[in-house]
Amino acid sequence: MNVFRLTGDLSHLAAIIILLLKIWKTRSCAGISGKSQILFALVFTTRYLDLLTSFISLYNTSMKIIYIGCAYATVYMIYAKFKATYDGNHDTFRVEFLVVPVGGLAFLVNHDFSPLEILWTFSIYLESVAILPQLFMISKTGEAETITTHYLFFLGLYRALYLINWIWRFYFEGFFDMIAIVAGVVQTILYCDFFYLYVTKVLKGKKLSLPA
């Protein structure tokens, strides 16, 4: 495992922990898109079904279990424990416009036409757009809490580091996965505008807002 993969994993874990702590400490999920969190839970569930069929390493297995567990814990807190604080009026992105096309694409473009491989491919495609309901929600409300922007920053940093990881593996290991790379590029592009606003506003102590 190279340093970019490791720091990417740690950035991903940091994003998840930041979000969970934000919800738990404030006893509120205001400003958090439940729909994005459901999509992420679906991503991890369909991607890590290989937990039932293979073992790679203790690190690999532990991280997969943590991701799945935290994803469902977040969904539970939004839709059950702190449901009264959930802003469903602004979380209105039509997720079927993401899930259905992504599902169709996973059937058409994959490495191997088998159930586990199609579901893995589905998870890669879906992850690249799963943040859209959150960004859409921020654009509707006009701003985001600072802690929420930190969560989004580390989530975007994770994907950017994974892109570097794929480049590293291509040059030093001869490994190339077009599906993961293209999906990673799409996801990183979606974060570009946010990264700019994060650096120019949040890091200077201002509130982040997206154009409505």
- DSSP calls for 17-56: HHHHHHHHHHT--TT--HHHHHHHHHHHHHHGGGGGT---
pLDDT tens digits for 162-203? 989 988 988 888 888 889 888 988 888 888 877 877 777 777
Percent of the chain with pLDDT strictly greater than 90: 65
Residue 177 lies in a domain: yes
Domain coverage including residue 30: 3-202
Token duo for residue 52: 């039932």
How high is the pLDDT of residue 50?
93
Tokens 């200077």 identify what position? Answer: 204
Residue 129 lies in a domain: yes
Report the sign of the C-alpha dihedral through residues 163, 97, 120, 51, in that order.
positive
Total domains in the chain come to: 1
Residue 209 lies in a domain: no
Cα 87 to the center of its chain, rounded Å = 20
Residue 69 lies in a domain: yes
How high is the pLDDT of residue 187?
86
Q: Which pLDDT band, with edges at 50, 70 and 90, does 211 fall under? A: low
**Rounded Cα–Cα distance for residues 127 and 184 (Å):** 9
pLDDT tens digits for 133-152? 998 998 888 777 887 888 98
Residue 105 lies in a domain: yes
Tokens 């940093």 identify what position? Answer: 157
Residue 110 lies in a domain: yes
Residue 211 lies in a domain: no
The model's pTM is: 0.91
Residue 33 lies in a domain: yes
